[in-house]
């Protein structure tokens, strides 16, 4: 009879911890979903990809929920995972993007004004992205996270930097971005 009671207690504790994990996960998703999406979108510059990255981020959270002990570190952890996934996505898609750009160049000028306008917008976005890629880390990450509205403290926690250095990194990052963007714009 004692073994039956122990088995029942084990089953109940597993169910209770599962329910508790689901509640914690649901709260984390509700609180941080938009922030994770914005961080991913800033890196990949595509809402559809950012949604996929957000889902992957929360899947990783669900799989690693037990490893996150400090509730204050949850948001920085989510942002770091989302940014790493976004960077990996960009690396994986860089060849496909290069092929697409070559196709557009080989195809020639577009007769449709709307298509030409879309191409110009895409080129501008590409120039911005290229200039942003040339900005060194951690300056680039600081710029992106600040653009997303994170505080210096949140940026410092997300990137494992000191809070006092974030303002300097952002200022230097802006200067580098402007310098690189000006060079790209001058070449075109």
Judged against a pLDDT cut of 90, whether residue 129 lies above it is answered with: no
Count of C-beta atoms within a 10 Å radius of residue 11: 10
Q: What is the pLDDT of residues 23-69, one digit of tens each?
A: 678 888 898 999 999 999 888 888 999 999 999 999 999 888 888 78
From-to residues of CATH 1.10.10.10 in the chain: 116-188
DSSP state of 148: T
Of the ranges 11-15, 23-27, 113-117, 152-156, the best mean pLDDT one: 152-156
Confidence grade of residue 126 (pLDDT, cut at 50, 70, 90):
confident
Q: In whole angstroms, what is the distance from residue 21 CA to residue 176 CA?
A: 44
- Give alpha helix (H) positions in 64-138: 74-107, 113-134
Better-predicted residue by pLDDT, 35 or 101 = 35
Q: What is the pLDDT of residues 130-168, one digit of tens each?
A: 888 888 888 888 888 888 888 899 888 888 889 899 999
- Give pLDDT, residue 117: 80
CATH topology for the 116-188 domain: Arc Repressor Mutant, subunit A (1.10.10)
Count of C-beta atoms within a 10 Å radius of residue 55: 15
From-to residues of CATH 1.10.1740.10 in the chain: 1-108
163-187 and 113-134 are packed helices; what angle lies between their axes, rounded to 10 degrees? 130
Mean pLDDT of 97-107: 71
- Tokens linked to 54: 């957000």
- Give pLDDT, residue 81: 92
- Give pLDDT, residue 107: 66
* 167 contacts: CB under 8 Å, gap ≥ 6: 152
- Residue among 68, 88, 91 at smallest CA distance from 78: 68
What's the pTM value of the predicted model, to 2 decimals?
Answer: 0.49
- Give pLDDT, residue 113: 61
Of the ranges 8-12, 32-36, 118-122, the best mean pLDDT one: 32-36
Considering Cα of 119, then 125, then 129, then 135, what sign does the dihedral take?
positive
If one looks up domain 1-108 in CATH, what number appears?
A: 1.10.1740.10
Phi, psi (degrees; rounded to nearest 5) at 160: 55, 50
């Amino acid at each position: 009879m004692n073994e039956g009671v122990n088995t029942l207690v084990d089953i109940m504790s597993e169910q209770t911890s599962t329910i508790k994990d689901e509640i914690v996960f649901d709260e984390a998703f509700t609180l941080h979903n938009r922030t994770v999406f914005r961080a991913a979108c800033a890196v990949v510059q595509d809402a559809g990809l950012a949604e996929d990255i957000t889902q992957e981020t929360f899947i990783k959270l669900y799989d690693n929920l037990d490893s996150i002990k400090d509730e204050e570190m949850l948001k920085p952890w989510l942002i770091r995972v989302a940014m790493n996934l976004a960077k990996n996505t960009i690396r994986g898609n860089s060849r496909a993007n290069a092929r697409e750009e070559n196709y557009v160049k080989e195809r020639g000028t577009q007769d449709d004004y709307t298509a030409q306008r879309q191409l110009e917008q895409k080129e501008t976005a590409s120039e911005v992205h290229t200039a942003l890629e040339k900005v060194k880390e951690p300056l680039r990450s600081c710029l992106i996270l600040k653009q997303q509205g994170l505080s210096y403290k949140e940026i410092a926690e997300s990137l494992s930097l000191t809070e006092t250095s974030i303002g300097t990194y952002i200022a230097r990052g802006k200067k580098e971005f402007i310098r690189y963007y000006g060079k790209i714009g001058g070449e075109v």
